[in-house]
Amino acid sequence: MADVFAPQSQAGVMSFYDAKSSGPKINPKLMLAFIVLFTVIVLVLDHIAFSA
């Protein structure tokens, strides 16, 4: 049996990303900085806790 391929409509994807949200607006660079800082803090605390 031959498979029939039909591409999905892109309209749904674009309308999802264009939709306005009422949540807080966070700068992606700031969020990345928080993630890196959190990772460093966890690694330092892990090193302190298990080095003894």
The first and second tokens of residue 6, run together, are 């039909």
34 falls within a domain: yes
Look up the domain containing 34 and give its range: 25-52
pLDDT in tens, 1-52: 555 555 555 555 556 566 677 888 889 999 999 999 999 999 999 999 988 6
Q: What is the total count of domains within the chain?
A: 1
10 falls within a domain: no
33 falls within a domain: yes
What local confidence, expressed as pLDDT, does residue 10 receive? 55
38 falls within a domain: yes
| Type of residue numbered 35 | I
What local confidence, expressed as pLDDT, does residue 51 receive? 80
Q: How far apart are CA 12 and CA 18, in angstroms?
A: 10
